[in-house]
Structures are given as structure tokens and as C-alpha cells.
Amino acid sequence: MMRHYSLIDGALVYDAICNHPLFTDPAVNWCAPLLPTEKRCLAGPILIDMALVEAAGAEAKSAVDAILDGFPGRLHCSTLQSQADLAALAGHLQRFTCFYDQDAVLLGLRFADARVLVHLPAIMTPQQWGEMTGPIEQWSTLDRRGEEVVLMLPEDRASLIPEDKQFALSGEQMATFAIGAEPDMLLDQLKSTKHVKEGHLYDDWRLACECVAIWQESGSDNQEVLLSFARKVFSSKGQALQERDWVSFLAHAGPQDISDS
């Protein structure tokens, strides 16, 4: 039997769920936090069986609907289809929630965040992505325009032989993730992501991408310069980009130089 699941990034809606009587009730049978720890487990990925929610009644359905609408553009969630039951699928995905880097530091993989999820097929190795999606029939999410993105899943994933080693991302993979995440990190610093209207999610992200690209091309590695530059660009609704040759200017500028320009 095909089961339908929602996967949410609890960190992005943590204030709404951390004290919610249903999400904090250990007797609830329709959701499974994936972090392998009880402490702040709701701040990680949370898998929800939508059929079990329906069977639990109106209160559960209302609570889940509110959480699914709890972040702009629903960028905190995705939809999965699998024949595995909730316990089995949660146990499978739990393996990929955390890993140790080359310095033995424990890190989390925010694959429930749609802004991270869409990059996984390209950044993970075919073996990693195949193992992760083995029991999944379809995995989809929404992009910043509100359009559905159906992830490409390896055709041989169900028959793939798992590697006999702990899941981990290489330094190169992590660096690629960091580059792709820079615009969203900038938006978080600007406190724009959670406050813009849904229809502007894509426009704000594209503007942040432009800011990051110009800053990187300038050769500056000063994050305060990037933040000051972005504030100027966003406050002008992008018009400041036409004011000067920012690549040359940012190469030698400090944050105050940008504010005074």
C-alpha cells in the first residue's frame, strides 16, 4: 500500500511546535522526529504520515495543516510517497540526519528544508542519493515560485547494495552546499525570509544571489561588507545595483564605505 508523507524542517517552525500539545505528546502515532536525540528533537526533520493524521481526527488535521502553512512558500516541507510504514521510513531516513565531518565534529543535514533538499541529487554521490531514497517512490517539494519540483530518483535505488560505512559528506560536498546556501543565509541576516510576502520569495532570493555574486567577484571575503552592500541594495529595491561598478568598489571597501556611498 502506498503511503503519503509530509516531511517538515522543525527548526523553521520551532516556535509553533515546541510547546504544541500534539507534537509534544509521545503517544501521538502519526509523526516521528528524526533527530536521534530527545533533546530538541522537534528542531530537526519530522516525518508525518498523512493517512494517520486523517484517522486521528479534526484536531490533528488542523494542527498539521497549520504547521504546513507555517513558513513562507512552504519551503520547510516536502511530500514523499513510499510503501514503507512510518516507523520503517523514519528509521531509514534517520541515518542521514547527522554525520561527522573530517574533524570529528557532529553536523546535521537539513534535508527537510526544501532549499537544501533540491540540491541533494547533484551534490550527493549516486551511491549516497540512491541509498537515501531507496524506499521512496516519489519525493517532491515547492520552489520559491510555488511550483512543484519532483526530485530525480535513481532507477536502481531499490536494488542498490548499501555501503558498509557510516554516512558522511566530504569537505568538497560541504563547500558546495555552503556556496549554494549563501543567498539564503544573507536573507536570514537581513531578516527578510520570514517577513516578505509569499509572492516576493523568488524576487528576494534572486536579488540576494546578485549581491552574493558581485561580492564574490570583487574578491572581498568580508561578510560585513556583503551584509552592508545587501542592505543598501534591498533598501533601494535593487536600484542601487545601477549606481556604480560595485565589483571594483567592494574590492577595497569597508562596511562604512558602503553606507556612506
Residues 202, 144 contacting (CB under 8 angstroms): yes
Last residue of a domain, one of 144, 168, 192: 168
Q: Are residues 14 and 125 in the same domain?
A: yes
Q: Are residues 197 and 123 in the same domain?
A: no
Q: Are residues 145 and 195 in the same domain?
A: no
Residues 6+ apart with CB under 8 A from 63: 20, 22, 23
The C-alpha cell of 114 is what? 526544501
Count structural domains, the chain. 2
Q: Are residues 147 and 243 in the same domain?
A: no
Q: Are residues 97 and 136 in the same domain?
A: yes
Task: Tally the residues of the chain.
Answer: 261
Grid look-up 540540491 returns 119
Q: Between the CA atoms of 179, 181, 183 and 186, what dihedral angle is there, to the nearest 10 degrees?
A: -110
Say how many C-beta atoms besides its own lie within 10 A of residue 207's C-beta: 21
Q: What is the pLDDT of residues 122-151, one digit of tens each?
A: 999 999 999 999 999 999 999 999 999 999
Last residue of a domain, one of 168, 201, 230: 168
pTM of the model: 0.88
Q: Are residues 46 and 127 in the same domain?
A: yes
Q: Are residues 155 and 237 in the same domain?
A: no
Q: What is the pLDDT of residues 187-225, one digit of tens each?
A: 988 874 443 445 578 999 999 999 999 999 999 999 999
* Predicted pLDDT of residue 160: 84
- Which residues of the chain fall below pLDDT 70? 192-199
Q: Are residues 177 and 164 in the same domain?
A: no
Q: Are residues 104 and 120 in the same domain?
A: yes
Last residue of a domain, one of 168, 201, 227: 168
Q: Are residues 195 and 141 in the same domain?
A: no
Q: Are residues 239 and 138 in the same domain?
A: no
Q: Are residues 153 and 77 in the same domain?
A: yes
Helices (H), 57-195: 58-68, 86-94, 114-117, 120-123, 126-132, 171-190
For residue 111, give its domain range. 3-168
